[in-house]
Amino acid sequence: MALSIEEIKKLITSSIPDATIEIKDLVGDSNHYSAKICSKIFNGISKIEQHKLVYKSLQGKMGNELHALSITTEGK
Amino acid sequence: MNIRSEIENIINNNEICLFMKGVPEAPQCGFSMTVSNILKHLGANFKGVNVLDNEEIRNGVKTFSDWPTIPQLYVKGEFVGGCDIVKEMYEKGELKELLKSKSLI
């Protein structure tokens, strides 16, 4: 069960509405992605907390349906 | 001993501890390999804990750190991050600084 780029974007946007998201399918298998996510909610919190917010938005799919998503986060 | 105490013991007894898939000499996942290679490149001595050997630790450490993926790096008892964060810190020179500031390299 893989997730499409659109599904990932939708999940992230549903909990981080102001997110600007760029996702790349790294090898074209809908299973290895990289995502760059910018949002105001990342301002002033640690990288660990920023990534946790992204993982939370993916509702437990990270490490399960979604095998590999490398994340870069930035504030706005 | 419950799994939480076991993980705490591992983290407290190893100044640099990497929960990974495979072992430092033979990582079995690209992300684990990346972090392992970064630590080697910085000349850091670290303990690699192969989560593929122990399903309880594999799941336990995810709960322990509230972090859904492997690898996970701990330095002096503190969670530093997974592959993306460690790589970013390495590229910015922050990981080297962190390890130096704790006299680990």
What is the distance between the alpha carbons of residues A63 and A66, in angstroms, rounded to a whole number? Answer: 6
Q: For an interface test with B, which of A24, A47, A61, A72 has the most B Cβ atoms less than 10 Å from its Cβ?
A: A47
Point out the residue among B31, B66, B83 whose CB comes nearest to the CB of A52. Answer: B66
- Domains of chain B (ranges plus CATH)? 3-101 (3.40.30.10)
A48 to B68: CB separation less than 8 angstroms, yes or no: no
Global ipTM: 0.90
B18-72: pLDDT as tens digits: 999 999 999 999 999 999 999 999 999 999 999 999 999 999 999 999 999 999 9
Alpha carbon distances (Å) from A44 to A2, A56, B86, B87 = 33, 18, 19, 20
Three-state SS for B64-89 is: HHCCCCCCEEEECCEEEECHHHHHHH
- Domains of chain A (ranges plus CATH)? 5-74 (3.30.300.90)
Q: What is the pTM of this model?
A: 0.94
B19-29: pLDDT as tens digits: 999 999 999 99
